[in-house]
Amino acid sequence: MEKSYLVKDDNGNLKYLPAMILENAESLSNISHPTRLKILELLLKKPMYPAELAKHMKLHEQKIYYHIKQLVKADVLEIVEKKEIRGTTAKKFSPKSTGFAISLSKDWANIKNLLEKKDEALSKFLDGFVKNNVFDSYFVVGSPDPHGPHKARARDGHHAIDLSLFFGGHCDVPKDFSVKLDTDINLDVEKNLIVVGGPVTNLICGEVNEALPAKFSDKKPWGIITQKDTYTDDTVGMIARVPNPKNPDYNIIIIAGIRFVGTKAAVLALTRHTKQVLSRFTGQKQFYAVVQGFDLDGDGKIDSVEVLE
């Protein structure tokens, strides 16, 4: 028997129960009687013989046998035990499932479509980065060794772990390894990229910088420059999505800060405040959001974010 499930949306959280899909309306009518529903509820808690059911429900045993016969006809019961009693075979029954349903349509949709409808902006934002419900991109993190013009060591690569948990909630894991160091990849790669960290510590971010709708300054004081303002606070970060300037058939998501705390703010913003960050995203080719992190509980670590623009 194929495994089937009932799915419901509980305030944005998908919940499910195992369920048996009935073949026809007659089967549904055979279990819809109040006494039969009560029998199913009792058997779900504990498999029983008809005699036990009769005693528990305070009904004549012949009446219980009649209702059991209708449930067997509907094919919703299974025999889990048999024993010989005075020359006859007594059967202990249990429901075949915790729930039962009938579908008027045979056009089953992929559960992925249901998940995507929960957040259309996020679905569009991840378009191409997730294909056929499988992650189809590379995370690009800065090398922890001194590298690049500033001989900088990346200190924010571990933030990709939180990002991977977030992406993992929306797709399956691919066969190939999904993480690259910025020193081991270039923009000619035929793959969508998720770049973690700013241009000082992530060379790929530096290469893409000129193509970004909001840019990182290329000299001290380090900052993020937009058409509206210039941000220089270390806790400021940016989430951006642009076509790959060297390979326009693919896209790049930048998740980076002025410093590593700004990168953490950008990661927190995308993963914990997704709807707020992507409220302006409608599928446009170039998109960015500037965020700032705050330490609300005073422990010296970023724990909250605000979208600046």
Same domain, 139 and 174: yes
Same domain, 68 and 163: no
Specify the pLDDT at position 224. Answer: 97
The structural domain count of the chain equals 2
Same domain, 117 and 90: no
Q: Is residue 240 part of a domain?
A: yes
Same domain, 160 and 294: yes
Specify the pLDDT at position 232. Answer: 95
Whether the Cβ atoms of residue 243 and residue 250 lie closer than 8 Å to each other? yes
Same domain, 141 and 260: yes
Specify the pLDDT at position 11. Answer: 67
- Among the ranges 102-111, 257-266, 293-302, which has the highest mean pLDDT value? 257-266
Question: Which pair of tokens denotes residue 186?
Answer: 């270039």
Specify the pLDDT at position 216. Answer: 96
* Banded pLDDT at 269 (limits 50, 70, 90): very high
Same domain, 155 and 86: no
Give the range among 81-95, 100-114, 256-270 with minimum mean pLDDT: 100-114
Comparing 184 with 113, which gets the higher pLDDT? 184
Does position 29 have pLDDT exceeding 80, yes or no?
yes
Helices (H), 129-215: 159-168, 203-208
Specify the pLDDT at position 15. Answer: 83
CATH code (residue 53): 1.10.10.10
* Banded pLDDT at 114 (limits 50, 70, 90): low
With pLDDT > 90 as the criterion, what percentage of the chain qualifies? Answer: 64
Same domain, 208 and 244: yes
Same domain, 162 and 249: yes
pTM beyond 0.85: the answer is no
- CA dist., res. 125 & res. 83, Å (int): 61
Does position 105 have pLDDT exceeding 80, yes or no?
no
Read off the pLDDT of residues 63-90 as tens digits, 9 standing for 90 and up: 999 999 999 999 999 999 998 887 889 9
DSSP 10-61: ETTEEEEEE-EE-SSHHHHHHH-SHHHHHHHHHHHHS-B-HHHHHHHHT--H
- CA dist., res. 292 & res. 4, Å (int): 45
Q: Is residue 106 part of a domain?
A: no
- The domain of 139 spans 112-307
Q: Is residue 300 part of a domain?
A: yes
Specify the pLDDT at position 225. Answer: 96
Q: Is residue 264 part of a domain?
A: yes
Whether the Cβ atoms of residue 135 and residue 143 lie closer than 8 Å to each other? no
Question: Which pair of tokens denotes residue 56?
Answer: 């528990």
The two beta strands, 224-225 and 230-231, are: antiparallel
Same domain, 211 and 131: yes
Whether the Cβ atoms of residue 125 and residue 277 lie closer than 8 Å to each other? no
Specify the pLDDT at position 170. Answer: 81
